[in-house]
Amino acid sequence: MMANADFPLESASPIAGGVRRVALDPLSRVEGHGKVTLLLDDAGHVWQARLHIVEFRGFEKFIQGRPYWEVPVMVQRLCGICPVSHHLAAAKALDHVVGADELPPTAEKLRRLMHAGQILQSHALHFFHLSSPDLLFGFASDAARRNIVGIAAAHPEVARQGVLLRRFGQEIIRLTAGKRVHGTGAIPGGVNRALSPAERADLLAGIEQIIAWSRQAVQLVKRLHAADPELYDHFGTCRSSLLSIVGAGGVLDFYDGRLRARDADGRVLADAVHARDYAGLISEEVKSWSYMKFPFLSAIGPREGWYKVGPLARVQNCEAIATPMAEAERREFIAHGCGRIVHAPLAYHWARMIEMLHAAEAIEDLLHDDELSGSELRSSGARHHEGVGVIEAPRGTLIHHYRVGDDDLVTMCNLIVSTTHNNQPMNEAVRRVAQRYIDGQELTEGLLNHIEVAIRCFDPCLSCATHALGRMPLVIELLDASGRLVGRLAGAPDALSSGGGS
């Protein structure tokens, strides 16, 4: 078998010099899984680090042959944390199929509200429930309390706000989508229900507090950065291009816009690319050691063309945020980079909280808009055979692409999810963290948690690629050069169990 110098094959025979293989493997294989393999040599130096994600592509096949109107409901099973993003991306793709290129304002605003609720609940979950234990207690702190229960004991106010922020987002989803999970609110061409003035008033009663807590969350992340700039600026840092959609006028927009890519220094590489032209912008590379594809910007090529998506990309890809408090925070964030693009994975959390604040402010603006209670919910026009929908899911750009026959059945489905876009950056971050922290060290749970921390900056659970339900429990296995098991470590407990999983 061939093994190139950069990525020796996993299955290659033991490498001369005695290489130990350390594999982090999840306990629960049922819900999809990721695995980190560390190849160590005799001296304990990290030889290679790789993140393997078994991406479940069965969905694309499953959807072929199904009627198109079923798709926005069905695709929600793709992710346990952000089902609404798939729901909306599919609906947007199918809007084009039913000829609804412009939605009635009521429909568009209800979808925007639903999506802002999704960003709010997912970002709150990602930061408070899944990441704050690492950040507040330390990456190698006692694993038994490194969870939301531990946070509730040590920082009750932080835990409470996290839980209530998430609940507010879920309530918006329930009211716009019909159910808290797996709703049916968005349909091809529009939505099936508006918000009553009473429902809006109920939500408005709580929004001020939500905005205040979101502001505090940004302050909390800034304090963490200020307390340990060395860690926060350098942990797993890897330069790459950035990709996201950008709204009209260059503003941050989670729901709609054109694709923009910047290089690692911030120069715009591609701009105003329509979603339907995504295939010209990015290509996907297959590597022998991973089931998951590695997307890259076609213009640059596979070696250098990989990119980050998600909060860190979005906040630096746009020129402004349309709501005042989040915009002020964005400026401060940009200033932190001193004219350079911030590439630090831990800065994802900072950007994430700025986005959560924007979502909260946008929710308030939308709730004041009487069009949310309008009666024109759908539109349609000349049928098309193809549609592409792009949306900024909480963890990054999400592309849904369908072809539909004259008989209304889906004939082709292609999905590119955020985790896949971030595949290479996550690999790079894992490699850097492994080299910096694991190298030459005796393995401990705390050291291996450093790797999880790096992955969690991007993605709390790898769930949209693997359809897991917000879990990333890892098991570490130590194999010697002959493949013999010489050690085993049980990893993080289920981080979501106390967070009221979806």
CB nearer other proteins, residue 184 or residue 497: 184
Q: List, in order, residues 6 or more apart from 378 with CB less than 8 Å away.
A: 100, 103, 104, 107, 187, 189, 190, 191
- Rounded to the nearest whole angstrom, what is the least distance from the CB of residue 359 to other proteins in the complex? 24
**Which one among 28, 141, 192, 414 touches other proteins, defined by CB under 8 A?**
192
Question: Rounded to 5 degrees, what angle do the CA atoms 398, 241, 387 make?
Answer: 25
CB nearer other proteins, residue 193 or residue 276: 193
CB nearer other proteins, residue 188 or residue 470: 188
- Rounded to the nearest whole angstrom, what is the least distance from the CB of residue 100 to other proteins in the complex? 12
Answer whether 372's CB lies under 8 Å from 366's CB.
yes
Binding mask 409-428 for other proteins (x = CB under 8 A): x-------------------
170 torsion bin: left (phi>0), alpha (psi -120 to 50), beta (else): alpha
Question: Rounded to 5 degrees, what angle do the CA atoms 460, 149, 151 make?
Answer: 80
Restricted to residues 388-407, the positions that interact with other proteins (CB under 8 A) are: 405, 407
CB nearer other proteins, residue 18 or residue 67: 67
- Rounded to the nearest whole angstrom, what is the least distance from the CB of residue 295 to other proteins in the complex? 28
Answer whether 292's CB lies under 8 Å from 421's CB.
no
Segment interacting with other proteins, rule: CB under 8 A, options 177-185, 319-327, 328-336, 346-354: 177-185
- Rounded to the nearest whole angstrom, what is the least distance from the CB of residue 415 to other proteins in the complex? 16
Query: H/E element holding 415?
Result: strand 410-416
- Rounded to the nearest whole angstrom, what is the least distance from the CB of residue 364 to other proteins in the complex? 25
Q: Residue 128: which of 158, 155, 150 has the closest Cα?
A: 158
Answer whether 329's CB lies under 8 Å from 218's CB.
yes
- Rounded to the nearest whole angstrom, what is the least distance from the CB of residue 33 to other proteins in the complex? 23
Segment interacting with other proteins, rule: CB under 8 A, options 182-190, 349-357, 425-433, 444-452: 182-190
Restricted to residues 247-276, the positions that interact with other proteins (CB under 8 A) are: none
- Rounded to the nearest whole angstrom, what is the least distance from the CB of residue 312 to other proteins in the complex? 33
Give CA–CA dist 304/17, Å, rounded.
31
For residue 328 the two structure tokens come to 């002020």
Q: What is the DSSP letter of 496?
A: S
Binding mask 50-79 for other proteins (x = CB under 8 A): ---------------xxx-xx-xxx-xx--
Q: Please identify which residue in the block is written with the tokens 């992340």.
A: 221
How many residues are recorded in the chain?
Answer: 502
CB nearer other proteins, residue 183 or residue 499: 183
189 torsion bin: left (phi>0), alpha (psi -120 to 50), beta (else): left
Give CA–CA dist 267/102, Å, rounded.
32
How many chain residues bind other proteins (CB under 8 A)? 24
CB nearer other proteins, residue 77 or residue 368: 77
Answer whether 330's CB lies under 8 Å from 354's CB.
yes
**Which one among 64, 141, 184, 209 touches other proteins, defined by CB under 8 A?**
184
List residues binding other proteins (CB under 8 A): 65-67, 69-70, 72-74, 76-77, 98, 178-179, 182-185, 187, 192-193, 405, 407-409
